[in-house]
């Protein structure tokens, strides 16, 4: 079993229900060990869209990285995600942030997540459940990476799911 950190996001429909459904679906192939609170965040790359709800999970799984990615993509599809513009609105988005200490760069999956260090919406919830986790490439803890980002008021905690 490998420890994995996931980031979940949604900005369409019943956002809390989307997150709950995703957590439930992930439990079919991963043991959910820790769940962050929910954070409301402004969109980062494509700004003309509704605010997101984001959260992080720590799970363990026996699935290999690519198998995990395939199962996650199936969950997203089953929950109603429809592909649209990159960084655009979405019913549910599940990102693999870290997969143990694995480092890989494939056309479909890069580990750890290549933009983790620039995303307060991923780091803030992740810091709730894994503040001392060291980024396997940068070597910094999640808490240090979060502290290094400018606070521009684009995120606020909402509490438990």
Q: Which residues are catalytic, by number?
A: 81, 90, 93, 95
Looking up tokens 């109603």, which residue turns up? 80
Which distant-in-sequence residues (6+ apart) come within 8 Å of 13 by Cβ? 80, 91
Looking up tokens 């979940």, which residue turns up? 8
Which of 111, 114, 117 shows the shortest CA–CA distance to 145? 117
Which of 123, 112, 125, 126 shows the shortest CA–CA distance to 145? 123
Stretch (H or E) spanning 129: helix 120-130
């Amino acid at each position: 079993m490998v420890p994995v950190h996931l980031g979940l996001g949604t900005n369409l429909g019943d956002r809390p229900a989307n997150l709950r459904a995703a957590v439930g679906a992930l439990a079919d192939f991963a043991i959910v060990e820790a769940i962050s609170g929910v954070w409301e965040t402004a969109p980062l790359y494509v700004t003309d869209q509704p605010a997101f709800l984001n959260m992080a999970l720590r799970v363990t799984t026996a699935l290999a990285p690519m198998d995990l990615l395939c199962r996650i993509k199936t969950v997203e599809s089953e929950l109603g995600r429809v592909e649209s513009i990159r960084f655009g609105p979405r019913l549910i988005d599940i990102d693999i942030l870290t997969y143990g200490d694995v480092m890989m760069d494939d056309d479909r999956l890069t580990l750890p997540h290549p933009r983790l260090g620039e995303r307060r919406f991923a780091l803030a919830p992740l810091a709730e459940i894994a503040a001392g986790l060291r980024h396997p490439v940068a070597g910094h803890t999640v808490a240090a990476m979060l502290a290094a980002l400018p606070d521009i008021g684009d995120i606020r905690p909402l509490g438990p799911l």
